[in-house]
Structure formats: C-alpha cells, structure tokens
Amino acid sequence: MAGSGKSQSYRHIINQICSLATHAKKEQKSHTQLHNTLTVLEAFGNAGTMYSSNSTRYGMFQEIQFNERGRVIGAKTLTYSLERFRVTNVPTNERNFHIFYYLLQGSSAQERSTYQLHDAAHFRYMTPMADVAKSRFSRTSYIETDHSDKSTKLEDLKAALRAVGLKSRLQTQMFQLLAGILHLGNIEFDEAENAQESASIRNPEVLATVANFLGVNAATLEGALTYKTKLVGSELCTVFLNLEAAEKQRDALARVLYSLMFTWLVEYINKRSCHDSPANFIGVLDQYGFQANPLNRFENFCVNFANEKLHHYVLTDIMADDSALNDEIVCDGIPLPQVA
C-alpha cells in the first residue's frame, strides 16, 4: 500500500547489509557511494503525494555486489515504471518530482537568472490539476502538512551528484534541461484558422528560451510541436496539429525528456558503481504500492498488475511450502516452537 514505509524499510535493509559487510575504509566507500545513489534517485524519482511527502514514483531493483570474502564491492541499479505523467500533470493536492522544488527554492541568484527561474506558481507544470473526480479517501494530504524548507536540498544534491561522478559541467547541463522542461510547459498555442494550417505559437519568446536551453533551433522546435510525421503505407506524411493536439505534443515531449534524463542518470551511476564480475549479490526490490487514484491510467494499471503478481509469488512460492520456510528459520538459529 502506498505510504506504508516500503522505501524506508528498503533503506534500512541496504544500510544493514552494508554495515555487516563493510569493514575496511575502502569498503566503506562503496557504502557511501550507495547512499549517495539513493539520495540522487530520491531527488529525481520521488514526489509528495496524498499518502507521503516523500513517495517513490518508480520501481527499483538493486543488486548489492560482494567479493569472495563477502565484502561489498559495488551495486547495480535497475529502475522501471517511472511515473512520467506527473511531470506534466500534477494530481490535486500533490507535487511534482522533488528536483523541481530543489531547483526553484535552492538556486543562487546567478542560477535563477541563468535559468530564468521564478516561483513555482509561475510554471504550468508545477500547478496541480483540477479535481477530475471526488477522492474515495477522506484524509488530509501529507502535502498540506509538509512545510519543509527545500532551499538547502539543492546543495546536498549537488554534493551527492559529485560523489557519484557528475562534475559541475554535467550538473549544469542537467539543471539547464530541467529549466527547459519547466519553460516548455509555459508555451501556449493559438488555434489554426483552417484545417490546412497548424496551430501557432502564441508566445515565441518562451519558445526561444526553451530552444536555447535544449540546444536546438527555435524554428525546428516549433515544427516539432505543431506538426507530426506519420508513416502511411510506405510514405511519410505530415499532419497539421490543432491547438489541443499541439498541447499534447508539448507535454509528451516534456515527459520523454525527463524520462530519458532519469534513465541516463541511472546508467551513468551504474558505470561508476557496478562491478563487472562480482562473486555474488543480494537483490533488493523497492516496488511502489497499489494505485487507487480517483482516475487511474495505464501506467497505474501496470503498477497494480506487477504488485498482484508479486503478491501471488510470495503466497505461492515462498509462504505455501511451510516446511521449507521452517527449515530456513531453524538454520538461521531462530528457535521455532512446535505447533500441533
């Protein structure tokens, strides 16, 4: 269930494993690296929801790698099912991913000027959606009681990014991309006058800002937002997008950009921390809970389906064979009372 403390338990498990398998100073470095990895992923993959002010919005399987002596030597992180829709459509009484608030509240005056940042209310992607249906839960949102200061979080994140190998240049490029995503949501369109034309950009100055942050030509970006190319048979055809379709195209681009950045970040960290030939590993799964929103989408269905399969596996493959489970408990040195 969402908000039940799965991710916190996950951190405790990781800390305990590393504590038991780390002795030398060199091995302690792997533990610190793993902690910094979790800090980075929390910033980019967690968000405030109705159930938790720090809810994990992706699934993660992590291999804690050991050498022949049972010492931690590395970690491999596999992520999946990032809740991309949240980037462009924040549910009511919830928040976008933490990193956006870190950037808006923690940036220096120079950074705010460089990235043209304002308060969260200035950006469309930081504004929660209107209610689409009445919630079946009558409870206070954690967001309503979360008044924590995010201004210091950005410096902590920068330190963690440096620790996992991202130097200042790469960090600047990442923050520039994040700023570009925020400004992308503020691009507005005017409806086409007829079916032979596409929607047009209402605020070209915002388009120019986004194009600059993304490192592309403004005219090229405008074409990508207002036209779509489709393969019909063996020929490529250009489709003129109306206002509604252009807005969907804009939001889809923002979600893809954020998802690709998240995937790249995980792969970059893996290249630095993953060992090529560990003697063995312990796999730890952090799966975010069942989704029971007023309006569930396909990605919510996938999460719930995965949880159902996981629950079924635990019941049938782990809990069903009581004798095998009891033998494992006894082997661990835990006294097991006889039950008639």
| pLDDT interval class at 143 (50, 70, 90) | very low
The per-residue pLDDT for 329 is 78
**CATH top class, domain 6-317:** mainly alpha
Contact by Cβ (8 Å): 88, 251: yes
The per-residue pLDDT for 117 is 96
Place of tokens 């009681």: 145
What percent of the chain has a predicted confidence (pLDDT) above 70?
88
For residue 39 the two structure tokens come to 């800090």
In this structure, of 44-48, 224-228, 326-330, the range with the lowest mean pLDDT score is 326-330
Rounded CA-CA distance 234/250 in Å is 27
Tens digit of pLDDT for each residue in 150-167? 778 999 999 999 999 999
Tens digit of pLDDT for each residue in 62-112? 999 998 888 888 899 999 999 999 999 998 889 999 999 999 999 999 999
Q: Is residue 339 scored above 50 in pLDDT?
A: yes
Stretch 283-306: mean pLDDT? 83
Q: Domain limits of the chain?
A: 6-317
The per-residue pLDDT for 145 is 43
The per-residue pLDDT for 138 is 38
Tens digit of pLDDT for each residue in 165-185? 999 999 999 999 999 999 999
The per-residue pLDDT for 222 is 96
Decide the pairing of beta strands 189-190 and 200-201. Answer: antiparallel
Contact by Cβ (8 Å): 274, 74: yes
